Amino acid sequence: MARIGLLALQGGFAAHAQCLAALGHDCVEVRRPEQLVGLEGLVLPGGESTTQLKLIASAGLGPGLRALVAAGGPVLATCAGLILAARQVQAPQQESFGWLDLTVQRNAHGRQVESFEGWSDRGRKLVFIRAPRIVAVGAAVEVLDTLRGEPILVRQGRVVGACFHPELSDSLGVHELVFGAAVDDRAREVLRPLRLAAEAG
């Protein structure tokens, strides 16, 4: 079991917590700098990236987030989280942490009403909600999956970024890729439906 921090300032972070719990990890919802102490990994969830940046700054979380990533802990950055992790952001430009040598374009897949589901070129279930688009990839970045030839899942070192929402699919595959599993397959089959039922109730 690993202690994984989940940035919980804004956006859809609850489904990530379910995925981490189903893999047997201890999920810590992070809202204050002291909650970053002792963490072994990090999730930057979807939401609204400019709002998240303002909340990160007002909460004083920036130095601690940078230190955690610099220490080499695994990181999963999805949708707005990918925007925060990128080196350069377009449409419009904004600050970012630069952990992934990417250029991303915000909301490039349309507005909320244009959200869609589909399948990646490698057969992965995809959920896109106001998703960013990766428009340039640096030499150090490994492309793990694509949609119609366009990168949507990437990795640089121990930081993995996704344009889509893996936490909203039926699979724990992306979370397990990043953080591993502390439970076996049978336990996961039991835990995930229980977590989803508890959240729905």
d(CA 64, CA 1): 22
Name every residue whose Cβ is closer than 8 Å to that of residue 149 and which is 6 or more positions away in sequence: 121
The residue with tokens 């995930």 is 192
Active site residue 167: yes
16, 25, 165, 175: the active-site residue: 165
Q: Which member of 19, 27, 79, 163 is catalytic?
A: 79
178 CB contacts (<8 Å, ≥6 apart)? 41, 74, 75, 76, 160
34 has catalytic annotation? no
Catalytic residue, candidates 25, 40, 109, 167: 167
Backbone angles phi, psi at 184, to 5 degrees: -85, 175
Q: Is 79 a catalytic residue?
A: yes
Dist CA 155 CA 160 (whole Å): 4
Sheet strands (E) in the chain: 3-7, 26-30, 41-44, 75-78, 86-90, 100-105, 116-119, 125-128, 133-137, 142-147, 150-156, 159-162
Catalytic residue ranges = 79, 165, 167
